[in-house]
């Protein structure tokens, strides 16, 4: 059997880019998908992944992606990382256009991809034993927080899509995995959420001992895809040790209580 091939969205930065690297390192063929063609070209040159520039909120681009994949080989896995947040407004102050954008990039893009690629995933499962879908959501899908309602709602919607898809695919050898990270320090997520305010973005992570990295999440993605085909990781919730819950974050060094520091 030829190498298994994965489609990774959001591949131009952050978790998506790290997932491309992690999967290539474990022997996968990878098609990296994102809007920024220049970033994808650099990743292609470095890793050997195939770049495909697309806006996943556009039907025509998703159709073009599906056509390209059908022409170029089987699709064994869809890893949907693309998404994002805009704003930290209270519900009463939220901008409808921000909420619409979050629903488009987090939920409707996932639905478009599943609808377009599921026939190809089924063909790969029929010939090679199983296929996979992985959705990178967020702990924001599990717990609401003040100022997060738009993102909470969008990520909860994406999570529910994954949960329903798993039920709908019962009886088929297609795994549906959800990975829900907490605080991940990436160059762009919080910066974009806060409208490009780099000072405010860095303040979010200030004093936090070892937030998750994109590579941490990518390692879990690779583990889920490389696990035996009968093993499904329905939901992996991962946080840095400093973040005990969505609202409970330790800032400063982590120290055992009652033990003197050496």
Which residue, 174, 179, 188, is CA-closest to 219? 179
Q: How far apart are CA 45 and CA 55, in angstroms?
A: 21
C-beta separation of 5 from 30 below 8 A: yes
User: What's the DSSP call for residue 208?
Assistant: B
C-beta separation of 69 from 45 below 8 A: no
Q: How far apart are CA 203 and CA 198, in angstroms?
A: 9
Structure tokens at 133: 């879908």
Strand ranges (E), 77-234? 77-80, 131-136, 174-181
Instruction: Tell me whether strands 243-245 and 29-34 are parallel, antiparallel or unpaired.
Output: unpaired
Collapsed DSSP state (helix, strand, coil) of residue 135 = strand
C-beta separation of 221 from 22 below 8 A: yes
Q: Which of 145, 151, 205, 223 is catalytic?
A: 151
- Is 151 one of the catalytic residues? yes
Q: Which residues pair with 237 in a beta bridge?
A: 180
Longest Cα–Cα distance of the chain, Å, equals 63
Give me the residue label for tokens 């990518």.
218
Residues forming the active site: 151
């Amino acid at each position: 059997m030829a190498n298994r091939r994965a489609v990774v969205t959001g591949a131009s930065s952050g978790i998506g880019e790290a997932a491309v690297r992690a999967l290539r390192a474990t022997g996968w063929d990878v098609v990296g998908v994102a809007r920024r063609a220049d970033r994808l070209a650099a990743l292609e040159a470095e890793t050997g992944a195939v770049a495909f520039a697309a806006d996943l909120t556009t039907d025509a681009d998703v159709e073009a992606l599906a056509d390209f994949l059908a022409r170029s080989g089987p699709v064994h896995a869809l890893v949907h990382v693309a998404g994002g947040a805009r704003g930290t407004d209270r519900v009463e102050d939220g901008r409808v256009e921000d909420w619409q954008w979050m629903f488009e990039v987090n939920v409707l893009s996932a639905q478009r991809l599943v609808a377009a690629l599921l026939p190809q995933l089924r063909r790969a499962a029929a010939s090679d034993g199983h296929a996979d879908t992985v959705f990178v959501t967020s702990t924001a899908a599990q717990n609401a927080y003040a100022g997060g309602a738009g993102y909470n709602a969008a990520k909860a919607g994406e999570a529910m899509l994954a949960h329903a898809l798993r039920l709908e695919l019962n009886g088929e050898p297609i795994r549906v995995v959800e990975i829900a990270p907490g605080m991940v320090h990436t160059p762009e997520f919080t910066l974009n959420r806060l409208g490009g305010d780099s000072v405010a973005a860095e303040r979010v992570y200030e004093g936090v001992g070892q937030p998750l990295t994109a590579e941490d999440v990518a390692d879990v993605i690779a583990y889920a895809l490389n696990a035996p085909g009968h093993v499904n990781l329905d939901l992996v919730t991962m946080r840095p040790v400093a973040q005990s819950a969505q609202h409970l974050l330790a800032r400063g060094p982590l120290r055992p209580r009652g033990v003197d520091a050496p």
